[in-house]
Amino acid sequence: METNILMSKWSTPHSTPPFSLITTNLYAPALRLAIKEAEENIDKIASQKDSPSFSNTIAALEFSSERLETIEALLMNLNECCTDDTIQQTVLDMLPELTRFENKLWMNEKLFLRVKTIYDEQTTLNLDSEQAEVLEKYYQHFIRGGINLAPEKKERFATIVEELATLSEQFNQNVLADTNDFTLHITDPSDLSGLTNDAIATAHDEAVKRNMDGWLFTLHAPSYRPFLAFADNRTLREKMWKAYNSRGNNSNRNNNNTIIKKIVDLRLEKAHLLGYDDYASLSLSRTMAGDEITVNNFLDKLLKASLPYARKDLAEIQEFAKKQGADYELQNWDFSYWSEKLKKERYDFDSELLRPYFQLEKVREGIFSLYNKLYGITFTPNPDIQVYHEDVRVFDVTDKGRYMGSLYLDMHPRANKRSGAWMTEFRGQHNVDGNEQRPLIQVVCNFTKPTADKPSLLSFDEVETFMHEMGHAMHGMLSDVHYPSVSGTNVRHDFVEMPSQVMENWCYEPEFLNTFAEHYQTGETIPIEYIEKIRASERYLAGWLCLRQLNFGLTDMGYHTLTEPMADDVKAEDFEHAHMIELLPVVTGTCSSTSFTHIFCGGYAAGYYGYKWAEVLDADIFSKFKSDGIFNRDTAKAFRETILSRGGSIHPSILFRDFMHRDPDQDALLKRCGFVE
């Protein structure tokens, strides 16, 4: 019988996945074999006669499901960035089995007895700080996994967890389907008025690819965002905006309304079973913030600070639009259009003029060079590493000859790839008993594609996005801990965005931009006046953009602080929470919640506030880089050693203090946004 390649040891460079040999039909049988293997490993740990110790129980658990986790990571990552009907169905088929395995693990009473014995005796065991954190993590997994529930409640709890896994995946698939189902086909050149040449060329290439004439626009970011920002045809802007903001809310098989209601109610029931009043209380108990009061106070402080500025932003844009002849009240599909024009007038600056200076390959090399300056690491293309799609490029990362890991970059949109940008990993870092494993990190984006006569040219926002995701990637790549459960980005949820957001700050620094921003045709370095205009416009719409993020955060908390099952339908809940501070008119038929993948399938439930929470930390941390010098090796070394390399091995509050030698300055973000002096 032929061995399943997914169950074999891979004789590839750095034991990277042999994608050319992996077919979709191999995943389900491999996962079932790996589940069986993991269950046998766990049974051996639970049944051993030796007294419980950190080594024979906790450390053993860390590696008991290693093969299963690798195979699952491959399948789930491909489902996000290179999916098809077969992969999607495989995921839906396997999620119940994978969830049952997890439930069985966390409800294993014999195993928990060993973990609890170690937990109760930890003060006598001389555990180091990382081992103590790993032990705490496992103990909490069991508690939050229902180990202390009565038998009948355990059964119900397991059912809830299984249903939630399937519902979240269905939500994700529905959003992708609705994103792909809509296109705007333009055949009249007059409807292209106002659009940039790049946006028009991209739309033409999309039409050609589908054997159509004219121009085809989609809801993927490189097509959708320029259309909303530049298209003069207001009717078509409205059509695009409504389509984007109705995803998951259409009268078709992709409708997410019922799924949201089920997810919210099941999460609440899960929290109640564990003794919490609401899901947010359960979720926040393992974060930096710690509880709802802290989060709500934090959001309220930001809301009070930003709302006057957001109102001012909107009033200025409305007044500007009227002066330009817009005899209507601004709607959602007007805001990007008129704000872009006001920005151009106010700062004598057209953001599209930046694109020629941000060729994707040059930006990538600029980011690589930055990490070399800061940390001494180098990125070398490795064409021998197999990829899952021809768009993907792989780089080996080394530190003075030491292999740190491999970086997969997948930069362009496809119909079988979800929107947005994210970092993940095919394999994490660990180093126990000298057996070191270095990570395989993946960065996925949806940047403007090259056209027939132009390379991929990024907007400034896309440059920031690239920097953001590379911040996550280096958090994973520079990890240097022992145990996989606390390596890399396995940190408290409201800390995970800090290393990525701090990297965005370099985008506004002339010293950095001058290292790579060259005109793709002439080789001219980006003019200093362009950089000055970037910096001058850094606070443009700061109030509005902050309010937008707060809307998302408050919507998230609104769903997850319910203490009773949802009485209203999703649209009512969405209206109550998403629009409680919305300054533009609410549009009938649209619903932001039905495509809110972050909280319904992306792991940010009761955690979306973390983006703003991490901004406070990143604003504070970058102030030190600014003070010491943005390329200061000593500061970078301290940041790497005290934060990036430590992963989740120590509580993030301690990591922050180790670097800054004090607690966070809560006003750092307000100062950066210009809300306080």
In tens, the pLDDT along 446-459 reads 998 898 889 999 99
Alpha carbon separation from 381 to 10, 365, 406, 413 (Å, rounded): 20, 11, 9, 22
The answer to the question of residue 266 being in a domain is no
For residue 307 the two structure tokens come to 């709302």
Q: How many domains does the chain have?
A: 2
The answer to the question of residue 443 being in a domain is no
Do residue 78 and residue 205 come from a single domain?
no
- Residues with Cβ within 8 Å of 138's Cβ and at least 6 positions away in sequence, in order, are 58, 61, 115, 485
Domain range for 238 = 182-244
The answer to the question of residue 101 being in a domain is yes
Here the CATH number for the domain that contains residue 84 is: 1.20.1050.40
Do residue 86 and residue 194 come from a single domain?
no
The answer to the question of residue 11 being in a domain is yes
Highest mean pLDDT among 135-139, 548-552, 585-589 belongs to 135-139
Q: Is the dihedral of CA 12, 13, 14, 17 positive or negative?
A: negative
The answer to the question of residue 75 being in a domain is yes
For residue 35 the two structure tokens come to 């589940």
Do residue 12 and residue 125 come from a single domain?
yes
Q: For residue range 293-321, list pLDDT tens digits in order.
A: 999 999 999 999 999 999 999 999 999 99
Query: Which pTM was predicted?
Result: 0.95
Average pLDDT of the chain to the nearest whole number? 95
**Rounded to 5°, angle at Cα 26 from 23 and 32:** 155
The answer to the question of residue 99 being in a domain is yes
Last residue of a domain, one of 124, 144, 164: 144
The answer to the question of residue 557 being in a domain is no
Distance CA 123, CA 270 (A): 32
For residue 172 the two structure tokens come to 């994700």
What's the one-letter identity of residue 634?
Answer: D
Residue 469 a catalytic site member = yes
Do residue 122 and residue 40 come from a single domain?
yes
Share of the chain above pLDDT 90, in %: 91
Q: Are 597 and 171 in contact (CB under 8 A)?
A: yes
What's the one-letter identity of residue 327?
Answer: D
Return the H-helix or E-strand segment holding 436: strand 435-437
List the catalytic residue out of 352, 464, 469, 504: 469
Q: For residue range 516-540, list pLDDT tens digits in order.
A: 999 999 999 999 999 998 888 889 9
Of the ranges 95-99, 113-117, 166-170, 350-354, which one carries the lowest mean pLDDT score? Answer: 350-354
What's the one-letter identity of residue 208?
Answer: V
Q: Looking at the predicted structure, is the pLDDT value of residue 573 above 80?
A: no
* Average confidence (pLDDT) over 148-160: 97
pLDDT at residue number 350: 84
DSSP for 331-398 reads: -HHHHHHHHHHHHHHHTT--GGGGGGG-BHHHHHHHHHHHHHHHH-EEEEE-TTS--SSTT-EEEEEE
Do residue 98 and residue 40 come from a single domain?
yes
- Residues with Cβ within 8 Å of 385's Cβ and at least 6 positions away in sequence, in order, are 12, 13, 14, 16, 394, 396, 406
Last residue of a domain, one of 194, 227, 244: 244
pLDDT at residue number 1: 46
Do residue 133 and residue 240 come from a single domain?
no
